[in-house]
Structure 1
Amino acid sequence: MSNELGAALADICEEAAALILPLWKSGLTVFSKADESPVTEADRQGEALIVARLTALYPDTPVISEEDASEFGTPDAIGPRFFLVDPVDGTKAFVRGDPNFTVNIGLIEHGRPVAGAVCAPATNETWFTADGKAMKRQAGGAARPVSVRPWPTGAAVALVSHTMGEETVARLTRQYGFDLREPMDSSIKFCRIAEGAADIYPRHGPTMEWDVAAGHAVLEAAGGTVTTPEGETFHYGKALEGFRNGWFVAKGG
């Protein structure tokens, strides 16, 4: 199932992106979820479309999606195969007019991301897994393979959150040995590393499984890794923890 799935997920992501994009910079109302994080009509409409498409195509595979989880909670247990969906990762970026927001679908099998697609609606870029490789296309265009670059000694680029303080940046620089940094929101960080435009994304802060699963799948297919800071395997399906993640580091070559 997972070998052919990436392109199908890319199509769904692009369909959701076409729905979401007209709402960008439209002055739409921003609501607050229970955890005070923002949600907009774009999140809700995008999620409804994605869940409907996945349910129609793969009726036997459960879907864990961000907005549904926020409103109704997550299941106490999950089987070995399920989808993780984030219809707008980087809602804060979306609200302030920044282009770095994404649509995300990842497939998990036995705790590992085996297929995924990430679409950046504002830049018309889509990354997805296909036959063990990572592919990139402009929506409607031909796909080409992408891969991570070797670690560029003296010029390694880290992608970090806009809100990261200087003290934290300095500590991470010492820990991971990067040279340059670029603030960036959303799962597009995984994709920039996957295509060889950056080298590392250290995340020592809270995330949810749907935030990272699709990007993780793409980055691994491009030759990169996502591990705990100690170098251990990064697992999915943490139902008892509400699908919350621990710290991780995403790296290229």
Structure 2
Amino acid sequence: MRASTSAVFVGPELSDALTRLVTQAGAAARATTRVEVTLKADSSPVTSADFAADAVLRDGLARLLPGLAVVSEERAPLPSWPCPGNFVLVDPLDGTKEFIAGRAEYAVNLAILVDRRPVAGFIALPALGLVYRGIVGRGAERLMTSGDDLAPVATPIRARPTPAEGLVAVASLSHRDAATDAFLARPIIAERHHLGSALKFCRIAEGEADVYPRLVPTREWDVAAGDALVVAAGGRVTGADGEPLRYGKVETGFVVPDFIVWGAPAEP
């Protein structure tokens, strides 16, 4: 079902157009010369670069997907209407703290959802010159970028089989909590790397890491694009209860209570 709906909603032409769009949004964020920082109601920072990227995404999605509902982190207040089954989730600048600190690990996230499940994910990492994209049922790819230009050839990527022990784990650079630290302290974890933004999903999708736990609440726009990318690459994304995530939860403010990202199922 998800493979067929992915093909209908995100064919090759639209996939290329959305890849260009997140690349352009990332370039707009990176080109922001005077970065103004303010605090939201939850005390998290937002910058003029967030809004610059959001403007590019807003205009591009209105052109490419007219009539499809869009939920963006930077378009407050959050929608109060019942969320439709099919919609777009965007985080114009994922890893704002990393961006403010001058680190390269920030991203632009865009996900297409069908029946409240992500079927396509696009993640641009402008400071690293990379874009990742995944279409569930069709696979995942990595592309090199230069400014807002894309390399003509995409490299297929695949999550590696998760070993029984000796796992390489990735975890948040800016957000630490006792439950996640306890997970990372398990004997099955051999290496731990702390990274910013959706780059952690990308490392799982390209077979560079095995598990990414996030056991405290976050928001759907932080997760959906990475969810689609990892699943397209053969990996898994679940709640801590092992069940697939559901999206479009307006009633909770689009909160994801917890999740764990895994590589591909272990080979027999």
TM-score (structure 2 length as normaliser): 0.87
d(CA) in 1 for partners of 2:241, 2:262: 13
Cα separation, partners in 2 of 1:78 and 1:164, compared to 1, 3 Å: closer
d(CA) in 1 for partners of 2:134, 2:175: 30
d(CA) in 1 for partners of 2:187, 2:101: 30
Cα separation, partners in 2 of 1:94 and 1:164, compared to 1, 3 Å: closer
SS state at 2:50 partner: helix
Deviation at 1:8, TM superposition (A): 2.2
Matched, 1:218 2:229: yes
Residue matched to 1:189? 200
Deviation at 1:170, TM superposition (A): 4.7
Q: Is the contact made by 1:173 and 1:179 (CA closer than 8 Å) also made in structure 2?
A: no
Letter in 1 for 2:159: V
Matched, 1:231 2:239: no
Matched, 1:46 2:53: yes
Cα separation, partners in 2 of 1:6 and 1:178, compared to 1, 3 Å: farther
Residue matched to 2:89? 84
Larger mean CA deviation between 52-61 and 166-175 belongs to: 166-175
d(CA) in 1 for partners of 2:10, 2:182: 38
| Alignment size in residue pairs | 249
Deviation at 1:76, TM superposition (A): 3.1
Cα separation, partners in 2 of 1:170 and 1:186, compared to 1, 3 Å: closer
d(CA) in 2 for partners of 1:123, 1:65: 23
Larger mean CA deviation between 167-176 and 99-108 belongs to: 167-176
Cα separation, partners in 2 of 1:81 and 1:165, compared to 1, 3 Å: closer
Larger mean CA deviation between 225-234 and 86-95 belongs to: 225-234
Pick the aligned partner of 2:109 from 87, 95, 104. 104
Q: Is the contact made by 2:106 and 2:197 (CA closer than 8 Å) also made in structure 1?
A: yes
Letter in 1 for 2:31: P
Matched, 1:94 2:99: yes
Larger mean CA deviation between 88-97 and 234-243 belongs to: 234-243
Q: Which structure 1 segments of 5+ residues have no match? A: none
Larger mean CA deviation between 11-20 and 148-157 belongs to: 148-157
1:117-196 paired onto structure 2 within 5 Å: 117-130=122-135, 132-139=138-145, 140-141=150-151, 142-152=153-163, 154-163=165-174, 167-173=178-184, 177-196=188-207
Q: Is the contact made by 1:201 and 1:250 (CA closer than 8 Å) also made in structure 2?
A: yes
Residue matched to 1:248? 259
Letter in 2 for 1:53: G
Residue matched to 2:10? 2
Q: Is the contact made by 1:6 and 1:116 (CA closer than 8 Å) also made in structure 2?
A: no
SS state at 1:179 partner: strand
Q: Is the contact made by 2:180 and 2:214 (CA closer than 8 Å) also made in structure 1?
A: no
d(CA) in 2 for partners of 1:81, 1:60: 11
Residue matched to 2:6? none
Q: Which structure 2 segments of 5+ residues have no match? A: 1-8
d(CA) in 2 for partners of 1:82, 1:90: 23
Deviation at 1:107, TM superposition (A): 0.5
1:31-42 paired onto structure 2 within 5 Å: 31-42=38-49
